[in-house]
Structure 1
Amino acid sequence: MLRTLNRVLLGLVGLVLLAVGGAVLAVGLGVSPPSWWLHEGPHDVLLSTAERTKWKDESWWWPTVIAVLAVLVLLALWWLTSVLRRRRLAEVLVDTGDGAGALLRGRALQSVLAADAGGLEGVSHAQVRLTGRRDAPETRVRIRLEPHVDPGTALRELADRALAHARDSAALKRLPADVRMKAAKHRAERVS
């Protein structure tokens, strides 16, 4: 829904900007504009001196202009962050073999994969996030290792046990993973 709304809004803004820019360019090149158009000819200005100074002495004018511009900037920033934000995968398409398929909740697969990864020897904490498309999911795994664990061994166990189990249970051909490891730190303890 948000993706469709985003595309429609971008298309409308693009069409409006293209139409206005093309019309201004045409008038600037000497094409005679219609009677209702903002400019009368190529030497006309966008805002005359009278239009620019009309509200100058009103006390409400500049705070209103600044408030409207601030709201527009905030809306543009909200729109930009909603476009750039990486979303979690809501569902995974599971091939059942009969051609129909089934949908598996993304959070269910995430929690099972996080529990499997967290249960590996030497892993103190695991966090999993599904991204990608529902027919080609990808995982982002963050694990915190105990200080005595070899990262290579932990990565092999994660790939051979937890990721393979998730891939097989969801009947996926492949399940690419971006794994980030962090070592747990020892706290200083007194020895008496």
Structure 2
Amino acid sequence: MSRLRNGTNRVALLGAAAVLLASGAALASVTGPVRDRLPSNWPRLPADRTWLDGEALGRWRDEGWWTPLVITALCVGVLLLLCWGGAQLRAGRLRELPLGQPDVTLSGAALAAAMAERAGAVDGVTRAHVTLLGRPRRLRARITLVLSPESRPEAVLHDLARQAIAEARAAAAPRALEADVRLTVQRHKLRRLR
């Protein structure tokens, strides 16, 4: 999951939790048992509060801009929630890849494991991890490589594109396969002298 998507999910959940918590606390402060236990300097809603009285609602209805504004705001909110939900469903890991014949599929985890094994066999790579994302028509491979300190990144990328990625593209044909490669270098272990 990308950092932007992860951060968006956390902000949305935090905002929804804050709104629900504030609404629940406000509504609970109206009831007698909770109201009596609150400190006297805390803000509270009056117990006899009317949320929508007929007179105030009539004044709002007389305003010509109010109704279209509320309906537009609600529609925009629903569309944003639908887009967010669609993005959550669409951008997940690839589970199965249909191979063209009925009932013949390739497991996304198996293809990712094969790609990781081939990427790990490239000279200069000490560890490789592959995650397949996207939809069956448009695949994206997120490849994370840990390089040895003496390896050259250009040579590793060239060999990776020629071997592991080319074989994965041939296995996924006629679908397109995009590769996102992240390189890190293995750190030297510090030696302690006694």
TM-score band w.r.t. shorter chain? 0.5 to 0.7
8 Å CA contact 1:94–1:172 kept in 2: the answer is no
Instruction: Give per-residue Cα distances to partners, 1:84-120, cap 9 Å, x unaligned.
Output: 4842111123246xxx584211011011111111111
TM alignment of 1:81-92, pairs within 5 A: 84=88, 86-92=91-97
Instruction: Give per-residue Cα distances to partners, 1:61-81, cap 9 Å, x unaligned.
Output: 799xxxxxxxxxxxxxxxx79
8 Å CA contact 2:119–2:125 kept in 1: the answer is yes
Identity of aligned residues (%): 31
**Corresponding residue of 1:152:** 154
**Corresponding residue of 1:136:** 138
Return the TM-score normalized by structure 1: 0.53
Instruction: State whether structure 2 residue 131 is matched by structure 1 residue 126.
Output: no
8 Å CA contact 2:148–2:185 kept in 1: the answer is yes
8 Å CA contact 2:129–2:143 kept in 1: the answer is yes
Deviation at residue 123 of structure 1 after TM alignment:
0.6
Instruction: State whether structure 2 residue 184 is matched by structure 1 residue 179.
Output: no
58 and 113 in structure 1: CA distance in 2 versus 1, 3 angstrom threshold: same
Letter in 1 for 2:171: S
Distance in 2 between residues matched to 1:163 and 1:129, nearest whole Å: 13
**Corresponding residue of 1:58:** 32
Q: What count of residue pairs does the alignment treat as equivalent?
A: 121
187 and 57 in structure 1: CA distance in 2 versus 1, 3 angstrom threshold: closer
171 and 56 in structure 1: CA distance in 2 versus 1, 3 angstrom threshold: closer
62 and 117 in structure 1: CA distance in 2 versus 1, 3 angstrom threshold: farther
Letter in 1 for 2:155: T
Deviation at residue 164 of structure 1 after TM alignment:
0.8
Deviation at residue 56 of structure 1 after TM alignment:
3.3
**Corresponding residue of 1:93:** 98
Distance in 2 between residues matched to 1:134 and 1:61, nearest whole Å: 57
Return the TM-score normalized by structure 2: 0.52
8 Å CA contact 1:128–1:142 kept in 2: the answer is yes
Deviation at residue 82 of structure 1 after TM alignment:
9.9
Letter in 1 for 2:164: A
Deviation at residue 121 of structure 1 after TM alignment:
1.2
8 Å CA contact 1:141–1:178 kept in 2: the answer is yes
Distance in 2 between residues matched to 1:61 and 1:135, nearest whole Å: 58
TM alignment of 1:22-61, pairs within 5 A: 56=30, 58-60=32-34
Unaligned runs of 5+ in 1: 1-51, 64-79
Letter in 2 for 1:59: P
Secondary structure in structure 2 of the residue aligned to 1:175: strand
